[in-house]
Structure 1
């Protein structure tokens, strides 16, 4: 069974990733179409193409500091550039010959990749894995200045889907989810990030 595949909302030129912030960062980012202060360029920022994974992480935008859900549309070239520089957060034997090799690579990495259990609509953990990509301060400028094509505040959609779920209207909630599908990865990138 293939469990490590990237599923995302994407087209020929772009891929949508999700982030959750407090309103002081999320609001200005949505208004400006990119990140502006007080967003910090000096710390790692994590981007995730799975909407439902972020819903589980942010508790449907109800966790403090994660009340604003942003859909960040970035270039596929930027996304694949990040993946090409990535090192897994664990010493996967399919990628690294030894723990020492992984440790050396990880210490130099500007991008981290982590595979976490994908989530169901109700927040349950699935067998499939969902990718998280951590961009260090060494690459955040490129993310903000070169890769971002636009940012939309998806918090109203999040609240609507969550409200339907709470009302037991699962079919209607599911119909509103972003249409994520398999992202085609070049084999060299798949090897780098330990994808199936």
Structure 2
């Protein structure tokens, strides 16, 4: 399994979809530390733009009308992967289901692998990582990891319109450039069996 993301030397981009009541203030303040954002709830970050489009229905689903690109510190992702557990039992990664369940309950981060999506939001043969943050991981995201918040909803709608018009190359040219992300992730999080 490979993590694909848009990244530079110090940061990588992950996506989340929100209702306008969270997205607007978050962009204005360049922070998720806004009243409507609940740090006590699990929140999922996704490095795949097209998987975010699949999940949010091109930013058309209720309470997901605004897609934000969060530039986070790479050290934050490293911390998340070091404190993560797969979201389901994998025999080669855990000695038994009980041990996995105990690790899952203790871990502040969950890792899930879902089929990556193409421009038509159809599944591809490779997987995209979803990173679920809870407990101490959420305040870390909010107060330590996020360095930039950008609303990419208009970009999402432009790409969708190009796809609907059959201009697939033009749509592809508007996508963020996601490449294989170099990670020191623990091997048990990158298992093929995690599919």
TM-score where L is the length of structure 2: 0.95
Match of 1:131 among 129, 151, 156: 129
Q: CA RMSD in A?
A: 1.1
Aligned positions, number: 191
Matched, 1:20 2:17: yes
Q: Deviation per CA, 1:109-151, whole angstroms, max 9, x where unpaired?
A: 1111101111111110111111000110332111100111110
Residue 194 of structure 1: CA displacement? 2.7
For structure 1, list consecutive stretches of 5 or more residues without a partner in the other structure.
none
What corresponds to 2:171 in structure 1? 173
Runs in 1 of length 4+ with deviation above 4 angstroms? none
Structure 1 distance, partners of 2:60, 2:103, is 36
Question: 2:108–2:134: 8 Å Cα contact kept in structure 1?
Answer: yes
What corresponds to 1:41 in structure 2? 39
SS of 1:42's equivalent?
A: coil
Structure 2 distance, partners of 1:195, 1:71, is 27
- Please give the residue correspondences for 1:15-94 in structure 2 after superposition, counting only pairs within 5 Å: 15-35=12-32, 36-94=34-92
Residue 195 of structure 1: CA displacement? 4.4
SS of 2:93's equivalent?
A: coil
What corresponds to 2:8 in structure 1? 11
Question: 2:71–2:149: 8 Å Cα contact kept in structure 1?
Answer: yes
Match of 1:101 among 99, 102, 111: 99
Matched, 1:193 2:185: no
For structure 2, list consecutive stretches of 5 or more residues without a partner in the other structure.
none
Q: Deviation per CA, 1:31-70, whole angstroms, max 9, x where unpaired?
A: 1111111111110000000000010111100000000000
